[in-house]
Amino acid sequence: MGEDGVETFFDELRDVFLLPTQDEKNPRVYGLFSTLGSVFRGSAVCVYPLSTIRSAFNGPFAHKEGHSYQWVPYTGRVPYPRPGACPGGAFTPGLGSTREFPDELVMFVRSHPLMYDPVYPAPRHPLLVRAGLPYGFTTLAVDLAQAADGRYEVLFLGTDRGTVQKVVVLPKDPGVLEELTLEEVEVFKTPAPVKTLWISSKRHQLYVSSDVGLTQLSLHRCGAYGPACADCCLARDPHCAWDGRRCARYSPAPARRVRRQDIKHGDPVRQCRGFNALAAPGAGPAADAPGGPAGPGDACGRGPVPVRGHRERLHAPAAPPAAARPAPRPAGGLPAPRLPEPLGPAPEQSRVVGNQPGGPVSATRPELPPPELTGGAEA
């Protein structure tokens, strides 16, 4: 039920992702749902413990009974083997396929296709809901990222317009979560709905497929957030942290002492003291340096600056030379973002999404996957 009191049913299951846990038999199940029909378009992501799903399938079947045909739990005899059992398993060792199931079992499945007990999401509400937008989600993958202040769920969501969104789930209040879109990347030169997403933790890559091809993205594109410590901190990306010189991939290795990161609050005042003078050489005195400018619009030393969400389309330029001048600082705001060096052939256009606190993030066409992946080798 939304804030307006109107109930919305996301009753079409589009994709499922299993995230392993310490208990190998009970992974977390992420389900991507959408609405049926063309009047209202929406998508939702819910997460379930596999134990609750297993409990529902071991419970009673749903049965229509009475003059009004209301759904009630079935209390009669359930045929053997129990519907849902796999042929050749522990309870059906003598059966080679479902074609060998007895007719009684087949008739029971046709008349009792539903389970009676519902399965609720883990926090009793979706992790993410998108409604009333001109696009929908088609597939998802989840990475459990380790940050300085905890572990965070990072969702990669493919869309039917050929983009991939990176979303982080953050704790807001006790028992309340909020989702924050970090970036949206146009991955193919010819837009096509994203079919599958696959994460390689070993290579730190996200592999994306559609009807037009296969490509890869880095799980972390930290340089796109900006050249200053405040840009990196305000982005609130669990994969990225300020290492004293630039926004780079976060590594929990204890050898690196300087790692400025605040995913929960995104507070640059507390995290970026002493690093602003090193963030953008030649761009003028830093806010917290002696004689530097001070004002409510300076996020590096005096306070955070709210950045309004917007969307733009830019032509992807060529890679900037090594001695390029730093990006100018607009009055009363954060430094203008600099497009990262393209990883491969640049598409005709790239999408920039700026609804994250760290400001707009540019998107470039990623490089193709290694040849061994297309041949079926595991990354």
Structure confidence at residue 258 (pLDDT)? 65
What pTM value is reported for the model?
0.69
Structure confidence at residue 4 (pLDDT)? 57
Span 117-132, average pLDDT = 88
Can you spell out the DSSP letters for 128-191? EEEES-S--EEEEEEEEEEETTEEEEEEEEEETTSEEEEEEEEEEETTEEEEEEEEEEE--SS-
* Residue-wise pLDDT tens digits, 69-117: 889 999 999 998 888 888 887 777 888 888 888 899 999 999 999 999 9
Structure confidence at residue 75 (pLDDT)? 92
How many other C-beta atoms are found inside a 10 Å radius of the C-beta of residue 374?
Answer: 11
Between 313 and 180, name the one with better pLDDT: 180
For residue 148, pLDDT over 60 is answered with yes
Structure confidence at residue 5 (pLDDT)? 58
Between 148 and 116, name the one with better pLDDT: 116
Q: Which of 127-131, 249-253, 312-316, 373-377 has the lowest mean pLDDT?
A: 312-316
- Select from 168, 123, 175, 126 the least CA-distant residue to 149: 168
* Residue-wise pLDDT tens digits, 38-69: 667 889 999 999 999 999 999 999 998 877 88
Between 293 and 96, name the one with better pLDDT: 96
Structure confidence at residue 272 (pLDDT)? 86
d(CA 49, CA 124): 12
Span 125-132, average pLDDT = 88
Structure confidence at residue 68 (pLDDT)? 80
Enter the DSSP assignment of 59.
Answer: S
Q: Which of 13-17, 113-117, 295-299 has the lowest mean pLDDT?
A: 295-299
Q: Which of 138-147, 178-187, 261-270, 317-326 has the lowest mean pLDDT?
A: 317-326
For residue 245, pLDDT over 80 is answered with yes
Give the model's confidence band at 275: pLDDT under 50 very low, under 70 low, under 90 confident, else very high.
low
* Residue-wise pLDDT tens digits, 18-40: 999 988 889 999 999 998 766 67
Span 203-223, average pLDDT = 93
The chain-wide mean pLDDT, for the chain, equals: 75
Do residues 239 and 286 touch, judged by C-beta distance below 8 A?
no
- Select from 47, 41, 14 the least CA-distant residue to 127: 47
| Percent of the chain scoring above 70 in pLDDT | 68
Where is mean pLDDT largest: 77-91, 219-233, 356-370?
219-233
For residue 337, pLDDT over 70 is answered with no
Structure confidence at residue 378 (pLDDT)? 44
Structure-token pair, residue 43 = 């998508």
For residue 313, pLDDT over 80 is answered with no
Give the model's confidence band at 267: pLDDT under 50 very low, under 70 low, under 90 confident, else very high.
confident
What phi and psi, each to the nearest 5 degrees, are found at residue 116?
-80, -40
What are the respective helix, strand and coil percentages of the chain, to the nearest 5?
10, 30, 60
Report how far Cα 173 is from the mean position of its chain's Cα atoms. Answer: 20
Structure confidence at residue 336 (pLDDT)? 45
